[in-house]
Amino acid sequence: MRRALPILLLLCVSLFACSGKGSNTDSSGATINNNIQNSGSDTIVNLALAWAERYQKVKPIVQVSVTGGGSGTGFSALINGTTDIANASRSIKPEEVALAKQNNFTPVEFVIARDAIGVIVNPANPVKQLTMQQISAIFRGDINNWQQVGGENRPIVRVSRETNSGTHVYFLETVVRLGNAKDTTIFSADTLLLPSSQGIIAEVSDNPNAIGYDGLGYLTPQVKTVAIASAEKTPYILPSIESVKDKTYPISRDLYMYTRNQPTGPIKDYIDWILSPEAQQIVKDLGFIPNVSAP
């Protein structure tokens, strides 16, 4: 029994050491946390999950946990300290920056990809193209029948992401308000608000009267993407990697990650990897547009 005690103690120490997978120490002996919390935009969540899975193979000691909930949720988590990286499909608002500074940090922005917003209808809908002004009028509630834009005599059912979504905010400011910062118009009161990109696709694919919008990486053959003209008598353009790169498609945007101050340690390493060619290839594979400024 006495001989067995040292072996038993050694086994316990080994198990304890193995259980500390989420942390190690730097050259000064300080503990480094290898568990990275990453939350926010539902537009980015599939991309973030793919990155986290690949990074587990690149650096097995680091654990990246990914959750969605919307850009607003990500910023709230960053401000209150419950996430390390906030994913966002819109830029941070001045009031969010002010709250961050009240919590003694400055948010740092990284553009990690680009995206296009596709305006989608049911495949049975004969409408193939719309102007930005027509789309704005539809979502404002000024146009309520498909016949008014060259379709059949059917009521229009408006479908949108919920207000906590960065995609909702971007579409409101860029399309519904047509980029007019002084415009305070909101979506028509009868707009159906849904909590996810997948929900938008499901609703539009099932409802022949519906119109919605979604990120390029979420578009499927179950819906029809309409071509968009920035103004009357200008070309109608479909969203694609090429039309975003050459800036001919009028509804495109940057996608972001935000950290608390300049990142260091494992968080910096992860951000650096996300901007690497390996990670940016995953961006392309999932239907988004790689960040052209990435090395």
The pLDDT tens digits of the residues spanning 239-267 come to 998 999 888 999 999 999 999 999 999 99
What is the model's pTM? 0.80
Domain count, the chain: 2
User: In this structure, are 188 and 258 located in the same domain?
Assistant: no
Among 91, 13, 144, 74, residue whose Cα is nearest residue 253? 91
Question: Does residue 8 carry a pLDDT above 70?
Answer: no
pLDDT value, residue 183: 96
Name residues whose C-beta falls within 8 Å of residue 231's C-beta, 6 or more positions apart in sequence.
131, 132, 133
User: In this structure, are 146 and 97 located in the same domain?
Assistant: no
User: In this structure, are 131 and 54 located in the same domain?
Assistant: no
pLDDT value, residue 14: 35
Question: Does residue 19 carry a pLDDT above 70?
Answer: no
User: In this structure, are 168 and 231 located in the same domain?
Assistant: yes
Domain that holds residue 122: 115-252
Does 147 map to a domain?
Answer: yes
pLDDT band at 7 (very low <50, low <70, confident <90, very high): very low
User: In this structure, are 135 and 170 located in the same domain?
Assistant: yes
User: In this structure, are 165 and 275 located in the same domain?
Assistant: no
pLDDT value, residue 245: 87
Cα–Cα distance for residue pair 294/190, rounded to 1 Å: 42
Instruction: Specify the CATH number for the domain of residue 41.
Output: 3.40.190.10
User: In this structure, are 121 and 248 located in the same domain?
Assistant: yes
Does 202 map to a domain?
Answer: yes
Cα–Cα distance for residue pair 138/156, rounded to 1 Å: 8
User: In this structure, are 121 and 110 located in the same domain?
Assistant: no
Does 104 map to a domain?
Answer: yes
User: In this structure, are 144 and 264 located in the same domain?
Assistant: no
